Amino acid sequence: MFAERTGYIVWFSDSKAARGLDKYGTLHYMSRKMQYAVMYMNADVAEEAVRNLQRLPFVRKIERSYRNEIKTEYEKNVPDKTQFYGL
């Protein structure tokens, strides 16, 4: 149904040139102060897009986001204590 998406953090040196990063994927956030951008792209074309991004002169470093691999379903092993602190 939905394509597998992968997130990348792209560190750049020129914020004006970094506006063109949306050609390679969906640009989610761009910090001009810290000079990085968060972008998402389809997993099947991600390797080729990263290779093309690394060739750009203003890109310093590219890191893959591990958000897909983090467990987001939590178990409740501790009893709820809020009922003891009621009014």
1-27 tens-digit pLDDT? 788 899 999 999 999 999 999 999 999
Q: What value does the mean pLDDT take over residues 42-59?
A: 95
CATH architecture of 5-69: 2-Layer Sandwich (3.30)
CA distance 31 to 37: 6
Question: pTM for the whole thing?
Answer: 0.77
- What burial letters (b/e) apply to 37-70, b meaning 16+ CB within 10 Å? bbbbbeeeebeebbeebeebebbeebeeeeeeee
Listed by start position, the domains of the chain span: 5-69
